[in-house]
Amino acid sequence: MNRSVTSALLLMTLLAALWTCANERAISGGSKDKTAPRILFSTPENEVVNVDLNTTIFIKFSEQMKRSTFSSALQIWPRPPGDFEMKSGWTWLKISFNEALEQDITYLLTLDKQALDLRGNGLESTYVLAFSTGADLNSGRLSGSIQGSRAIRKNGDILLYRVFDTPLNELRQQPADYIFQPDDDGTFELSYLAERPYMLFYHWDRNRNKLIDGDDFFGRPENASVLARPDSTTIKHKLWPQVMALDQIKLLEVSDLGGQFIQIRTDRPVTQATLDQIELVADRVSIPILGSSLVNEDEYAMHLNTAMPIAEAAPVWLNNFQDTSGFKLHSDTLIYHSTAIFDTLQFDDLSVKWVNGSAQRFPAESSTLQIKANLPFTFRSDSAFRMVDTIIDTVQIPGKLQKVSAMEWAFTPDTILADGHSFQWEIQTRFIYSGVTHHELDSLMQGQVETVPADSLGSLRIFHNGNYDLECKLTGRGINRSFKLKPGIPHLVDQLPAQKYFLSAYVDQDGNGRYTSGGLGPVSGSEPFWFYPSEIRIRARWETDLGEWELD
């Protein structure tokens, strides 16, 4: 082979190598990447003014991105005339506008944390690119914080509407003028806004239908109408989101399971509070309920044992259905048809726990145990339930077994139980009869319950000197205590396990017994609320005195 041919082949090989390096490809192999992608630069740059009306935006990333995530993560506010188109490579994004931008407008491009790299890492925080087609950028700003659990602070959005006197019901079918993601710690700062009134809301769209509706978390400041101001006069807005309640529930199914045992399915999750307060109405007659239970593997269903049969084709509805946010709702109607399916039911293991619902009994509380089943059942013998102290030589605890409802019994010891002990319980199922299953049971159910050592508990003393009665809630692992704190009167919360707690309070202005986050209208304010600024640590055998709680 002559020298010229060899040189030509060598040159082609080098060019091919360079071309391969220049072309972007998806990453493969290597150790797991947990680093958030970064934006290296953009054109135009952030805070540039007098931008050409026919500009094109270009964004460069620090690593290869999952391009399919750009469409949901990118927003431009206010919406440009004629909308825009996106083109992207592995490490870049290009936005072209279909029509010229408007003159003297500040535009905000936001790319939120849904923009992912190829390893599934999102941006560390929402990227904001602000530019103006005029000589100045807008100087209005809104900032504040969201209170609540980490999931609430992390998953919701801040909605901003460029109106200030319109009920939100009229806006629910329209997209917000601005949508921002707060930081993971719940703080938000909305900059480059026109100095004018807006309506400000928080929304966690849990069913992802882009509407504020039942089971979504919704929050608003004390006044929904807010004013974007220059940085020097900004007010911090606080929001405490709560679950939105529907006006009524929808009945999906009313089924006959055999005898006077029925199943009802709704479009809302059924809670234990629902079963405790539900009222069943059939053909305008209230039907007494002998027993009720939740349904395994179906959170939208309940089993009810009724005191009388329901007539075929009778209209059925529910009153006092308590939803997950604490509201009592009423249902639509559904026609009842008896189609027995009881052969598919199974008698599950009985639930045995303290009446207070806690896994551990506190010494000063009732020692009664709740024994509950998913189907109607009967104990045929007082010796069916046996309880022993596992510490003191397995001594049997004498007590009384009493029927509470068709699906619930109670065991009350004859003596006060010792604190700090474990107790073994046993149920001989040959002494149980469940008419729905149509067969005898023959097995042994076992479990344990415990009592807390008295010397492991502490207490909390708190005082405030404001003007209102405060409805307070102290929460910790397995603990949820509510109490009223009156001005100038110290309050002691005792029998608290040694651990960390969080304290919140609100003024119950409407007297409904729960915090109200404000209506959907602009003038329907939320109730004032406060969170204690730090976690509270309770020590065993110790009274923790918070002193005076200064409400900000």
pLDDT score for 29: 53
pLDDT score for 16: 42
pLDDT (tens digit per residue) in 236-261: 899 999 887 777 888 998 988 877 88
pLDDT score for 435: 73
Q: What is the mean pLDDT of residues 316-335?
A: 87
**What ranges do the domains of the chain cover?**
39-243, 248-344, 351-452, 456-548
Q: For residue 146, is pLDDT > 80?
A: yes
pLDDT score for 240: 92
Judge contact between 191 and 90, C-beta under 8 A.
no
In angstroms, what is the C-alpha Rg of the chain?
A: 31
From residue 508, give the alpha-carbon distance in Å to each of 202, 323, 484: 21, 20, 10
Question: Which CATH architecture does the domain made up of 39-243 adopt?
Answer: Sandwich (2.60)
pLDDT score for 506: 94
Q: What is the mean pLDDT of residues 38-60?
A: 95
Q: Closest Cα to residue 452, out of 359, 351, 353?
A: 359
Question: Which CATH architecture does the domain made up of 351-452 adopt?
Answer: Sandwich (2.60)
Highest mean pLDDT among 141-145, 161-165, 178-182, 324-328: 141-145
CATH code for residues 456-548: 2.60.40
From residue 478, give the alpha-carbon distance in Å to each of 84, 328, 363, 494, 544: 51, 25, 16, 15, 19
pTM of the model: 0.71
Mapping DSSP to helix (H, G, I), strand (E, B) and coil, where does residue 454 land?
Answer: helix
pLDDT score for 521: 66
Q: What is the mean pLDDT of the chain?
A: 85
Q: Closest Cα to residue 219, out of 245, 243, 185, 247?
A: 243
Q: Other CB atoms closer than 10 Å to residue 172's CB: what's the count?
A: 12
- CA 343 and chain centroid, separation: 36
Question: Which CATH architecture does the domain made up of 248-344 adopt?
Answer: Sandwich (2.60)
- Strand 157-161 to strand 197-204: parallel, antiparallel, or no bridges (unpaired)? antiparallel
Q: For residue 24, is pLDDT > 60?
A: no
Judge contact between 56 and 95, C-beta under 8 A.
yes
What is the C-alpha separation between 13 and 19, in angstroms, rounded?
A: 10
Identify any residues that bridge with 410 across adjacent strands, giving them in sequence order.
370, 402
pLDDT score for 327: 79
pLDDT (tens digit per residue) in 92-108: 999 999 999 999 999 99
End-to-end CA distance of the chain: 88
What is the C-alpha separation between 322 and 141, in angstroms, rounded?
A: 40
Q: What is the DSSP letter of 271?
A: -
Q: How confident is the model at residue 517 (pLDDT cuts 50, 70, 90)?
A: confident
**What tokens appear for 191 in the block?**
């900059």
What is the C-alpha separation between 16 and 5, in angstroms, rounded?
A: 17
Q: H or E element: which one contains 160?
A: strand 157-161
DSSP 127-144: EEEEEESSSS---EEEEE
Of the listed ranges 24-28, 234-238, 409-413, 500-504, the one predicted with least confidence: 24-28
Q: Other CB atoms closer than 10 Å to residue 120's CB: what's the count?
A: 11
Q: For residue 398, is pLDDT > 60?
A: yes
pLDDT score for 442: 75
- Same topology, domains 248-344 and 351-452? Answer is yes
